[in-house]
Amino acid sequence: ILQTVSNVLEQGRFSLLRVLGKARLVVDATAGNGRDTLFLAEHTPPEAHIYAFDIQKEAIQKTRAVTAAYAEKIHYLVCGHEFLGQIVPEEIDVAVFNLGYLPGADHGITTRTETTRRAAAAALTRLRVHGICLITVYPGHPEGSAEADMLAGYLSRLPVHEFTVGCYQLMNHKKTAPYLYLIERTGRRCPV
């Protein structure tokens, strides 16, 4: 039986569909096995550009294989997402962060608090109005728990006239279960 409410990843992806249909520039900040990149590629127009980051060469190789049918619109980057600001040229419609480590690979290679903060800030700075940033958090391992604390503080302080931050969490599951943030840019700071 397919579960719906408990499928956190699917809930997150579903929330992106409306924006993806007209997206021009999309970022997968943690390409991993390529499942998210494939979803983004399948739901964006042919002329869209997708930037897929991962620090592991093997992850980018897997992503390249899984998304071969869409390779023309994907920029595959063996690169930390903390360099996103120097690489992504324009406003972002959708940015996806699926944090943590690659299942089945070295669990020591994981996203980290400081670089995640820098990358999230860069993505949010470049997010166009009504663009969405999706961040999936895995608090069940030590670095993930530190990232979860950092994100709760950072995201809850984003200015309300510029961003709306939502959280999808399974309230009666373990506290260590994954959950997600959806951040929409709702406006821009007035120039002074």
Which among 53-61, 127-135, 148-156, 183-191 is the span making contact with ligand SAM, rule CB under 6 A?
A: 53-61
Instruction: Find the binder of ligand SAM among 51, 53, 76, 179 (CB under 6 A).
Output: 53
95 binds ligand SAM (CB under 6 A): no
Binding mask 101-120 for ligand SAM (x = CB under 6 A): xx------xxx---x-----
Query: 3-class secondary structure for the chain?
Result: CCCCCCCHHHHHHHHHHHHHCCCCEEEECCCCCCHHHHHHHHCCCCCCEEEEEECCHHHHHHHHHHCHHHHHHEEEEECCHHHHHHHCCCCEEEEEEECCECCCCCCCCECCHHHHHHHHHHHHHHEEEEEEEEEEECCCCHHHHHHHHHHHHHHHCCCCCCEEEEEECCCCCCCCCCEEEEEEECCCCCCC
Smallest separation, CB 160 to ligand SAM (Å) = 29
Half-sphere exposure of 144 (CA within 13 A, CB side): 23
Using CB under 6 A as the binding rule, whether residue 36 contacts ligand SAM is answered as yes
State both tokens at 149.
């604390």
Binding mask 70-89 for ligand SAM (x = CB under 6 A): ----------xxx-------
Establish how many alpha carbons lie within 13 A of residue 149's alpha carbon, considering only the half-sphere containing its beta carbon: 8
Out of 10, 15, 24, 35, name the contact with ligand SAM by CB under 6 A: 35
Site size for ligand SAM (CB under 6 A): 24
Q: With binding defined as CB under 6 A, does residue 11 bind ligand SAM? A: no
Q: How many Cβ atoms are within 10 Å of 182's Cβ, its own excluded?
A: 17
Compute the least distance from the CB of residue 36 to ligand SAM, in Å.
4
Residue 67 interacting with ligand SAM (CB under 6 A): no
Stretch that binds ligand SAM, among 23-31, 68-76, 124-132, 161-169 (CB under 6 A): 23-31
Output 31 or 148, the one with its CB closest to ligand SAM.
31
Binding site for ligand SAM (CB under 6 A): 29-36, 53-56, 59, 80-82, 98, 100-102, 109-111, 115
